[in-house]
Chain A
């Protein structure tokens, strides 16, 4: 069965600090997708990134970077030089497209990031 673990419930940092959000996943499938979503205080889910299981290249997008390591089943998310606007709950999610007709997302429990001045 698929599972996503975000062990960090809450992280507080001071603005301009770097912060890494951890995500560990479990799956029996060899083909899967990993996602990160941001949920700001307003409540919507904002898509950040999707990676497939065959692409272990790390990705950088501005201040955001993602480190995908199949050997440790981890897909960690780093924010460089954090800003107050980064304060949100961040969810890691997993889908297994080869199971079922439509692939659902399994979410982790989320990490609440608080960035203060």
Chain B
């Protein structure tokens, strides 16, 4: 069964460093998403991406964040200068269409900023 894969599963970084979280969406999907879950809290939408551009972004997704689809398979989330409060689980998701018939989630990347 096709799945969304994320790497790494866990990343520890020092405050102020740049991190890139990687995702490989399901191959025939066209819509891509990043969500964040701070420990013990709800899953929050960060950004959606379609046709090589951002479709929508939340208030959380400020200038420190950027997304890119550098090639035909990867979808990345970059945090330019990490802060302690960026520590969270980051989920990538993809869906075949805008209707979100089923958004498939990756297993998540746990980011720890120290």
Contact = CB atoms under 8 A, between A and B. Distances in A.
A51 B27 CA distance: 24
A43 B42 contact: no
Contacts of A45: 43, 91, 105, 108
A106 B100 CA distance: 12
B98 A104 contact: no
A44 B31 CA distance: 20
Contacts of A93: 43
A18 B41 CA distance: 25
A42 B9 CA distance: 11
Interface SS of chain A: loop
Nearest to A97: B99
A100 B55 contact: yes
Contacts of B107: 42-44
B113 interface: no
Contacts of A58: none
A82 interface: no
Interface stretch (B18-26, B44-52, B62-70, B79-87): B44-52
Contact of A102 (B41, B91, B98): B98
20 contacts: A43-B108, A44-B108, A45-B105, A47-B103, A91-B42, A93-B43, A95-B100, A100-B48, A100-B56, A101-B55, A102-B31, A102-B33, A102-B49, A102-B56, A102-B100, A105-B35, A105-B93, A107-B44, A108-B42, A109-B42
Give the 4 A-B residue pairs with the shortest CB-CB distance, closest first.
A101-B55, A102-B48, A45-B105, A104-B45
Given A44-B106, A110-B42, 10 more contacts: A33-B99, A45-B91, A45-B105, A47-B104, A102-B49, A103-B99, A104-B48, A105-B43, A105-B100, A105-B103
